Structure formats: C-alpha cells, structure tokens
Amino acid sequence: MARRNPPQEDLAQQRLFKAPLTRESLRQTFALARYVRPHRARFFSGLCTLFVSAALGLAFPLLAGSLIDAALHPGATTLPLVGAVSLNQVALLLAVSITLQALASFNSALAFNRVGQSALADLRRDCYGRLIALPMAFFAQRRVGELTSRITTDVAQIEGTLIDALPQICRQTVFLLGGITMIALTSGRLTAVMLGTLPLLIAAAVFFGRRLRVFSRETQDQLAATNTIVEETLQAIASVKAFANEAFERGRYDRANARVLTAALSAARWRAVFVAFFIVALFGGIVIVLWFGAGLLQSGDISPGQLTRFVLYTTFVAGAMGQAAELFTQLQKTVGSTQRVRELLREPTEAAAQNPIGVSAPLATPPSARLRGEVAFEAVSFRYPSRPDVAVLHEVTLAARAGERVALVGPSGAGKSTLTALLLRFYAPESGRLLIDGRDARDYPLPWLRGQMAIVPQDVLLFGGTIAENIVYGRPDADAAAIREAARLANADDFISAFPEGYATLVGDRGIQLSGGQRQRIAIARAILKNPAILILDEATSSLDSESEWLVQTALQRLMKGRTTFIVAHRLATIRTADRIAVLEAGRVVELGNHAELSAKPDGLYRRLSSLQFGQPTAVSQL
Ligand SMILES: Nc1ncnc2c1ncn2[C@@H]1O[C@H](COP(=O)(O)OP(=O)(O)OP(=O)(O)O)[C@@H](O)[C@H]1O
Ligand SMILES: [Mg+2]
C-alpha cells in the first residue's frame, strides 16, 4: 500500500531536512504557488478529473458488492440512483465506471505532470538566474555541492510533491472520508470493530517507522562521507596518480564503505522487523474483519455483497491511512525544500548588496559611452566577509591615470589579487573609496562597469566548446572576421589555424588540451575583442618557454596599449616597463614608484624582492 521508493532515492530523499509545518512555513510554500498560476486552467482541470476518478474509485466496492448480491438474489438487488439491477447490468456499470475512471485518471495525471514540469522548469530557471547574480561573498561561504543541490534535489522534491504527492493527498482524502462513510452505512458494528483495531496498528507503525528512520539517517550520513571521498579523489586524480596513492585512497574508501555497511545492516534488521509486522497487521486485520463479518453473514445480519463491500472499503481506508504518514513526511520535506529555494530567490543580488538603501544608488544610465580609465583607491581597507577577523587591506591608496600601467608586486598573500577583486567590484571596500573616472565606483551600473573591464587571469580556464566560442565570450556579438583579427593580435591565429578544424576545434573537458601559453593567448584574444578601458592582468607564475613567453608578451603589449592596466606582476620585463610599481606587504602599500626609483632604495622591499627573484640587485639596476 505505502509507495516504496527504490533504496537510492530513499536515501537522497531522507537527506532533505524536514521543516515543521507552521503557519509561516506553509505560507512560504504557498508563495511558490505563483509558478503554477500561469497554468491554473490546466491545474484545475487536473484537479476536477482527479476528484471524478476518486469518486468512481469509491463506487467500485459498491458495484462489486452488488455484483455478488445480484448473482445470489436475482431481481432483488437495487442500487442507489439506478434502482433494481440484474447481474449483467451491474457488470456493465462496472465496465463503464472503470473506463471512465481510467480516462479521468489519464487526464489528471497528464495535467498534473504538464503543470508540474512547466512550473518546475520556470523555478529552476529563476533559481539559476538568481544564483549567478549573487555576490562573490555568497559563494565564499557556501559549498558548491550545497548550491547545486538546491537546483537539483530541492527542486526535485518540490516536483515530486506537485506531481505525485498533491494528487495522492486529494485522492486518499476522498478514499478515507468516503470509505469510512460507506462502511458506516453498511454496518455500524463492523465499523466499530475496524476503527477499534486501527489506532493500535497506527501507533505500532509510527514506532517502527521512527526507529527505521534513525538507522537510515546514519546510513545516509556514512554514504555521504564515502561520496565526499570519491569527489575529492576524482577532482585531484592527477595528484593521486602522481603520488601513487591509489592504495591509500582505496584504504580510505574501504573504511568509509565498511561503516556504510554496518549502518545499513542495522537499518536492514529494523526494516525486516517492519516488513514482518506489516504482514501480520495487514493479513491479521483482514482476517479479523472477515471473521467478524462472516459471523454477521452467518446470522443473516449482512448480505455476502455487503461483506465484500466492507472488506474492499476497509482496504481503501487502511491504504489511505498507511499513506498518510508517508505523505505527511513528504510534505514536511517539501516545506523544507521550498524554504531553501525561497531563501535563495530572496537573496539580494550583487547590485543590490553593494548598494544598500541609503547609500548612493547607481545612475540609471552610464555617464558616457566609454570610460577614460582613471582609477583611484583612496584609503581602502577591506576584509573578506567569510573571514571578518582578518584585515586583508589597510588604507591602500593608489591611483592610475588613464592609460597608465600599474604593477602590483609583493609577497604571496600580500593582497594583490584582492585589490583587483575590489576593482572588479566583486566586493565593496569596508572603508575608503574606489573612484573610477572621478566618480564613486558604486555610481555605475554594475554590468556596464564590468563591460568596461577585462581580465586575463593567472590560470586561464576555458569553457567546454570551440575555440571561437571561447574567444567570442569577450563580446558575444562579434563576427568571424573580428574573432580572427583578435586572435591574430593575440599571436594565437597561427596555432589555431594549424589545427585541422581551426577555430571550430573543441577545447575543454571533451576537447583538446591547450598548453598554458596557448590558453593565455586565447584569454588575451578574448580581452582584445572586448576592447576594455581598464585591463587586469594576473601574470602566470609558472614560466613559459622563451618562445611562448615572447609570443605572450608581445600580445600583451598590444593589448595594454591605450588602456589603464593593473598587472599583478612576477616578471621583470613587465615590471620595468610599468609607469608605477606598488609594492604590497601584508595589505599595505609599502613602496610606490617606478623601477629606477625603487631599485635605488638601499634597503627597500622591492630591491630585496627583485634580488631574490631576478638575481643580484646590481643586475636588476643594469637591466
Ligand atoms: N576569498 C577569500 N576569502 C577569505 N580570505 C581570502 C580570500 N582570498 C584571499 N584571502 C586572504 O587574503 C589575503 C590576501 O590574499 P590575495 O589573494 O590577495 O594575495 P596575493 O597577494 O594575490 O597572493 P599571491 O601572490 O599568492 O597570489 C590572504 O591572507 C588570503 O588568505
Ligand atoms: Mg594572487
């Protein structure tokens, strides 16, 4: 009777936490009903046919009972609304009723599925849209697995409720109330017997169900632990192999796997007990009802048809009660899921988060078509929202005039990448100001501002797709000629054209692997195509061979021309040609000047760093 899920699905379902059914949580759940609203006509048609099919289902025991009575007492059997009926007429009525019930069920199943799937597709789209519009700080505090599960597991839970549980709740309510009414009409004494045994069975079922759930939870927690191991090792598969640690990882997995088995076996014992109990309860219940009913039949209090009806209605009622617990659990999980999904949908987007009410609102339209590219950090202090106790930048003041090149150098962890993250407005300064073209950066609409910037990151990650698609990411409306020109300027055209499929060559997970220098040149082509006013370069720390190095450097020189550039620099060649060098240490600008000025400071950090990195200090000043 109770619908059983396959074990795997069962575990995933149980992992969803259950929310208490309070007025507020239900209100939240119904707030998502707006996704059903566009499809309400179909939804109500589904609901109506569902009730029709449930009512016809309820008529089945009535007709089945009459079938027996009509056979035993021809001519003496009557049906409500119809009057006297013969055996064959009852059979015909049954056939008609079953056909209608099938048609109604077909329509309602189809309607609920259509409404559910369309509503869920909209919900998924909104969740994803909101997710990628959230500020960086949001992602720093959450695990990727947790976020993907909102779009997959939580939405699937809501889907299950909308498509399966909701119609089931309606149908079972009709069966429960209708069944009890029909039984009461058949025989008051039998009803009393049946209702008397039920509370005991329900109490026992709830008790076993709870025990079972405790052990199932333990199993699923242990299973989650093994999945984490799989995820970790697959992500770092190259390291696992390089360190020849397959045996170590296998051992780790085996131990976790053994714990899953122990937990699963404890759960299995309770499950087996539960199954045994269920059989006793089900058959025992039927036997008790039959035994008592047979007595009534013997004494002539009820007819054989009435006994048949009674047994059938009893199974309807018992079925509905058996499902009630499961449907209730399902509902609780769904409320939990809707809460998490609603939380996500109400999370402030990046633009809203950086412009809290009361602070300046961004201009509706940008002040000019293109930025000049003046950037000024004024006494900017910052700490990451995920680590509020560590101050990462202290009163950093640094300016770049339009078209200047500013090199950021300093030890690892000094805050160089953080400074570029603030420029991209991934985060807002905690105090101080970031001015762009003389205006507070928050005055500009965020997408427009980022449209004026481009970044060539330290480690270029290409999207799965063709090379052309990866380059056009910089400016989605660019045509093939523009893509090619950008690739040519980025010194990438030669190696791309050498591939048999040229610009249509697939890269990424399922495509060919490009070398570090090649990927960087693709990123440069992307930036050239975007034609930004402000450029951020995070130089690769790994050195390329001298030919690729030359190709990358000349491409970068072309890219930097006429743009304000912030370079997190590791190479002397880049640093020497910078208009200004900011030496960062522990979040402070400790030295500022050009190469000649900074090299001249006898015990400056720059001089020390460059001697470590590029050789003797004398060599640096000679370069
Ligand atoms: N997302 C983050 N959340 C919390 N702390 C961070 C985050 N990113 C960086 N930090 C911390 O901020 C400090 C500055 O980091 P940052 O990445 O800016 O250094 P960096 O100068 O770029 O170093 P490197 O040369 O190694 O790239 C470090 O102490 C780092 O631990
Ligand atoms: Mg960095």
Q: Tell me: pLDDT of 333 over 50.
A: yes
SS3 580: strand
Domain of residue 159: give its range.
22-186+337-353
Q: Please, are residues 554 and 489 in contact by the beta-carbon 8 Å criterion?
A: no
Q: Which residue has the tokens 């501002």?
A: 449
Q: Mind listing the pLDDT tens digit for each residue in 263-299?
A: 889 888 888 887 888 788 778 877 888 888 899 889 9
- The first and second tokens of residue 220, run together, are 């699923």
Average pLDDT over residues 78-107: 89
Place of tokens 């990358």: 552
Q: Which of 230-239, 337-346, 411-420 has the highest mean pLDDT?
A: 411-420
The ligand whose atoms approach the alpha carbon of 457 most closely is 2
**Joined tokens for residue 328:** 């209730």
Calculate how far, in angstroms, residue 580's C-alpha sits from the geometric centre of ligand 2. 19
Q: Pocket of ligand 1, candidates 141, 377, 394, 416: which has the most ligand atoms within 8 Å of its Cβ, to mutate?
A: 416
Compute the Cα dihedral for 615, 620, 622, 623 and give only its sign. Answer: positive
Q: How many CB atoms lie within 10 A of CB 300?
A: 7
Same domain, 285 and 208: yes
Pairwise pLDDT comparison (5 vs 89), residue with the higher score = 89
Whether residue 46 is found in the same domain as residue 151:
yes
The residue ranking higher by pLDDT, 149 or 88, is: 88
**pLDDT for 118 beyond 70:** yes
- Which atom of ligand 1 has the smallest separation from the CA of 414? 21
User: Is 202 contained in some domain?
Assistant: yes
Residue 536 lies in a domain: no
CB 609, CB 622: distance < 8 Å? no
Instruction: Mark whether 179 and 278 lie in a shared domain.
Output: no
Pair 592, 408: CB distance under 8 Å: no
How far does the centroid of ligand 2 lie from the alpha carbon of residue 416, in Å? 6
- What number does the ligand 1 atom closest to the CA of 136 have? 1
Angle at 261 between CA 259 and CA 262, to 5 degrees: 65
> Could you give the CA distance from residue 339 to residue 618 in angstroms, rounded to a whole number?
65
**What local confidence, expressed as pLDDT, does residue 467 receive?**
93
| Distances in whole angstroms, Cα of residue 408 to Cα of each of 142, 378, 416, 539, 574 | 30, 16, 6, 10, 11
Q: How far apart are CA 98 and CA 95, in angstroms?
A: 5
Question: Strand, helix or coil at 566?
Answer: strand
503 domain residue, yes or no: no
Q: Compute CA distances 55 → 51, 101, 230, 357, 461, whole Å.
A: 6, 9, 50, 55, 60
Q: What are phi and psi of 393, to 5 degrees?
A: -125, 135
Looking at the fold, whether 93 and 226 belong to one and the same domain comes out as no
Which residues have CB under 6 Å of ligand 1?
140, 384, 386-387, 392, 412-418
Tokens of 440: 């507070």
pLDDT of residue 95: 95
Please state the domain count of the chain: 3
Report which protein residue has its CA nearest ligand 1's atom 26: 412
**Which ligand does the CA of 392 lie closest to?**
1
Number of H helices and E strands in the chain, helices first, is: 24, 14
Domain containing 376 — which CATH number?
A: 3.40.50.300
Query: What is the residue with the minimal CA distance to atom 16 of ligand 1?
Result: 415
What local confidence, expressed as pLDDT, does residue 2 receive? 37
Mean pLDDT over all residues of the chain? 84
Q: Which residues sit opposite 399 in a β-bridge?
A: 376
Task: Please give the number of the atom of ligand 1 that sits closest to the Cα of 140.
Answer: 1
In angstroms, the CA 542 to CA 519 distance is 13
| 4 within domain boundaries | no
109 CA from centroid of ligand 2 (Å)? 55
Closest-lying ligand 1 atom to the alpha carbon of residue 587: 14
CA of 609 to the centre of ligand 1 (A): 19
Which secondary structure element, helix H or strand E, spans residue 598, and what is its range?
Answer: helix 595-600
pLDDT band at 112 (very low <50, low <70, confident <90, very high): very high
Ligand 1 center to residue 583 CA distance, Å? 15
Using the mean position of ligand 2's atoms as its centre, give its distance from the Cα of residue 591 in Å: 18
Q: How far is CA 167 from CA 108, 161, 537, in A?
A: 8, 9, 57
Kindly report the protein residue whose alpha carbon is nearest to atom 3 of ligand 1.
Answer: 384
Query: 359, 265, 32: which is closest to 166 by C-alpha?
Result: 32
Which candidate, 530, 528, 535, places its Cα nearest to that of 455? Answer: 535
Report the C-alpha gap between 247 and 465 in whole angstroms: 35
| Longest Cα separation, the chain | 121
Task: Put residue 542 in one of left, alpha, beta given phi > 0 → left and psi -120 to 50 → alpha.
Answer: beta
The sign of the dihedral angle between the CA atoms of 55, 60, 65, 66 is positive
3 state DSSP class of 11 = helix
**Pairing, β 439-440 against β 453-456:** unpaired
Report CA-CA distances (Å) from 379 to 358, 360, 375, 387, 426: 22, 19, 13, 20, 18
Q: Rounded to the nearest 5°, which phi and psi values hold at 592? A: -145, 125
Nearest CA to ligand 1 atom 18: 415
Looking at the fold, whether 145 and 156 belong to one and the same domain comes out as: yes
- Of the listed ligands, the closest to the CA of 414 is 1
Q: Measured between alpha carbons, how far is residue 233 from residues 121, 143, 333, 461 in Å?
A: 33, 17, 31, 20
Among 257, 283, 301, the domain boundary falls at 301
Q: Is residue 490 part of a domain?
A: no
Q: Which ligand is nearest to the CA of 413?
A: 1
Length of the chain equals 623
Q: Are residues 81 and 182 in the same domain?
A: yes
Domain annotation covers residue 195: yes
Any domain includes 551: no
What does the pLDDT average to over 81-88? 82
- In ligand 1, which atom is closest to the CA atom of 387? 4
Atom 2 (ligand 1) nearest CA: 384
Helix, strand, coil percent content, the chain, rounded in steps of 5: 65, 10, 25
**Domain boundary at 301, 318, 345, which?**
301
Decide if 252 contacts 301 (C-beta within 8 A).
no
Q: How far apart are the first and last CA of the chain?
A: 84
**Are 103 and 128 contained in the same domain?**
yes
Whether 174 and 83 map to the same domain: the answer is yes
**Where residue 576 falls among pLDDT bands split at 50, 70, 90?**
confident
pLDDT at residue 114 greater than cutoff 80: yes
Nearest CA to ligand 1 atom 31: 413
Q: Which residue has the higher pLDDT, 588 or 539?
A: 588
CB-CB contact of 212 with 271 (8 Å):
yes
- Best residue for ligand 1 mutational test, from 141, 144, 392, 538 (most atoms within 8 Å of Cβ): 392
The reply to whether 472 falls in a domain is no
Adjacent-strand bridge partners of 584: 589
Q: What is the Å distance from ligand 1's center to 417 Cα?
A: 7
| Dist. CA 413 → ligand 2 center (Å) | 7
Nearest-atom number in ligand 1 for the CA of 408 is 21
Same domain, 67 and 182: yes
Looking at the structure, tell me whether residues 297 and 345 fall in a common domain: no
Put simply, whether the predicted model's pTM sits higher than 0.85 gets the answer no
Q: For residue range 518-538, what is the model confidence (pLDDT) as tens digits?
A: 888 999 999 999 999 999 998
**Are residues 245 and 126 located together in one domain of the fold?**
no
Quick one: 37 and 154 in the same domain?
Answer: yes
Q: Which of 353, 387, 416 is the last residue of a domain?
A: 353
Q: What CATH number is attached to the domain comprising 70?
A: 1.20.1560.10
Strands 453-456 vs 534-538: parallel, antiparallel or unpaired: parallel
Ligand with an atom nearest the CA of residue 394: 1
Ligand number, closest to the Cα atom of 582: 1
